Amino acid sequence: MIRFIFDSFGSSHQDIFVKIDAGIATNEPYIADFYFVPDFLEFESAIQDEIEWKKACFRKFLEYLIDQISLNLDKTYLIFDLSDQYIGAIKIEKFTRNKTVCYKTSAVYSDKYYGWNMNYKIQQSEFMDSDWRQNSTIIWEITKDNLLKGIKWSIENLSIKTLL
């Protein structure tokens, strides 16, 4: 499963945690910034409460990731780290095992794009020619069902109310 955990009390820097649990290999979560996500999505909302506004925006971001997976492409880049110096993504490459759709999954980054000039309207085909580099040599295999299950879990987790 791949889960996206959002620290809604964060400062918009280092407040997205991406946890990849697939197979035996485990790793520390990837940490990313929320800062450019609202611009990336062109997100607008009338929600007044700052924390609830951030949660609504992050929910929209997770729904965007589900939409990207639903394109059912052979290779997809799930953008999650919109830095001012690079972008980070989870690269998923589709294959079939025993009639089950699976993905080879790896964490990658490219300095061809930057968080401040990214937009959800950019087509996946534009990413194919990017100079992507792998963050580590680890490649995970995950079923499409488990990939979607992790993102849906992440959406459900956003609805948890925090009592102060």
Asked, for residue 163, whether it belongs to a domain, the answer is: no
pLDDT confidence band for 104 (50 / 70 / 90): very high
Asked, for residue 59, whether it belongs to a domain, the answer is: yes
Range of 78's domain?
A: 2-158
pLDDT confidence band for 24 (50 / 70 / 90): low
pLDDT at 93 over 80: yes
pLDDT at 13 over 80: no
Asked, for residue 164, whether it belongs to a domain, the answer is: no
Directed axis angle between helix 144-158 and helix 50-70, to 10°?
A: 170
Residues 97 and 95: their CA atoms lie apart, in Å, by 7
Which residues, listed in sequence order, are joined to residue 87 by a DSSP beta bridge? 82, 110
Taking 3-state DSSP, the helix, strand and coil percentages for the chain, each rounded to the nearest 5, stand at: 30, 30, 40
Q: What is the pLDDT of residue 154?
A: 94
Residues in the chain: 164
Name the residue with higher pLDDT: 66 or 32.
Answer: 66
Asked, for residue 65, whether it belongs to a domain, the answer is: yes
Q: Domains in the chain: how many in total?
A: 1
The CATH number of the domain holding residue 18 is: 3.30.2450
Q: What is the pLDDT of residue 128?
A: 81
- Which segments of the chain are extended strands (E)? 2-6, 16-20, 30-32, 75-82, 87-97, 100-110, 133-134, 140-143
CB atoms < 10 A from the CB of 7, how many? 14
Q: What is the pLDDT of residue 163?
A: 46
On average, the pLDDT of the chain sits at 87
pLDDT at 10 over 80: no
Quick check: helix, strand or coil at residue 84?
A: coil
Name the residue with higher pLDDT: 1 or 77.
Answer: 77
Residues 57 and 49: their CA atoms lie apart, in Å, by 12
CB 80 within 8 A of CB 64: no
Residue 33 zone, left/alpha/beta (φ > 0; ψ -120 to 50; rest): beta
Percentage of the chain exceeding pLDDT 90 = 55
What is the pTM (predicted TM-score) of this model? 0.88
Q: Which residue is listed with tokens 């800062």? A: 35
Asked, for residue 126, whether it belongs to a domain, the answer is: yes
36-40, 88-92, 128-132: least confidently modelled range:
128-132
Q: What is the pLDDT of residue 149?
A: 95
pLDDT confidence band for 26 (50 / 70 / 90): low
Please report, for residues 8, 118, 124, the alpha-carbon distance to residue 86 in angstroms, rounded to integers and kept in the order given: 23, 10, 17
